């Protein structure tokens, strides 16, 4: 690939946050994210691509001065989010503990369900994350 060429995921969440620099560092700590393609604009993160567990998540600081453009405000400004970001992992408990240590708020601790082991948490920027993976007890169906 050329220097500025990137293979984007077919579908990738694009997160608006209140503090892009802090969010990048948080996702590195919570999920082992790798940052690439960072472009700053007006002293803020204008765009960055984060690679988390093999998937792309794009991120930008919010730009409230562009309220007429959809997707320019963060959950903190809006007072919540309307989506949950689902992350498939090999070990829900390990990923959950690392994310909580990094500053995520627990919404639901890991639990075996009929569809697999699941946990939910909110990051410091207002986004809700769901971790899903294999049940601890393969015979258990929730």
Among candidate residues 37, 49, 44, 38, the one with its CA nearest the CA of residue 66: 44
C-alpha to C-alpha distance for 139 and 142, rounded to whole angstroms? 9
Model confidence pLDDT, tens digit, residues 93-102: 999 999 999 9
How many Å apart are CA 54 and CA 133, to the nearest integer? 15
Instruction: Give the chain's domains with CATH numbers.
Output: 14-63+81-133 (3.10.180.10)
Q: Which residues of 10-27 are buried (b: 16+ CB within 10 A; e: fewer)?
A: eeebebbbbbbeebbebb
Q: How far apart are CA 83 and CA 129, in angstroms?
A: 9
The overall average pLDDT reported for the chain is 90
pLDDT score for 64: 83
Residue 48: pLDDT band (50, 70, 90) is: very high
């Amino acid at each position: 690939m050329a220097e500025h060429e990137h293979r984007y995921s077919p579908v990738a969440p694009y997160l608006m946050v209140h503090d892009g620099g802090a969010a990048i560092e948080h996702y590195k700590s919570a999920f082992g994210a790798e940052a690439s393609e960072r472009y700053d604009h007006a002293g803020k993160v204008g765009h960055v691509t984060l690679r988390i567990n093999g998937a792309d998540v794009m991120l930008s600081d919010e730009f409230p001065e562009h309220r007429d453009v959809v997707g320019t405000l963060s959950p903190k400004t809006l007072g919540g989010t309307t989506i949950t970001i689902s992350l498939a992992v090999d070990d829900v408990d390990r990923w959950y503990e690392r994310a909580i240590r990094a500053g995520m708020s627990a919404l639901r601790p890991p639990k075996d369900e009929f569809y697999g082991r699941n946990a939910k948490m909110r990051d410091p920027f207002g986004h809700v994350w769901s971790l899903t993976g294999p049940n601890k007890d393969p015979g258990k169906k929730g």
